[in-house]
Amino acid sequence: MADTHGKSGTVLEADEVALVIKADGAATLCLPDYDDDDEVPRHTLFLVALMNKMEDEEWVDGIIAEILPDNPNDC
């Protein structure tokens, strides 16, 4: 596999999937071109589901709360 990350960004191979979050919070899901009869990999489906859930601000806040300490000064 070639080095696909450089100063100008990251290049995905044709069969790779990426969830990209820009500095302003905008999210983009980069997917390969699947044919109608292709089996979509499980983790790809997970990212699609995650993109859908990201619209639910309460859900996002709950997930973030699970990974942050109760008191940030404890770190």
3-state secondary structure the chain: CCCCEECCEECCCCCCCEEEECCCCCEEEECCCCCCCCCCCHHHHHHHHHHHHCCCHHHHHHHHHHHCCCCHHHC
Query: Is residue 4 included in any domain, yes or no?
Result: no
Residue ranges making up the domain that contains 49 = 35-68
Residue keyed to tokens 């990251």:
10
Per-residue pLDDT of 21-54, as tens digits, reads: 999 999 999 999 999 999 999 999 999 999 999 9
> Do the domain assignments include residue 56?
yes
Inside any domain, residue 27: no
Q: Answer whether residue 26 is part of any domain.
A: no
Q: Is residue 74 part of a domain?
A: no
Say if 47 falls within a structural domain: yes
Percent of the chain past pLDDT 90, that is, above it, reads 71
Number of domains in the chain: 1
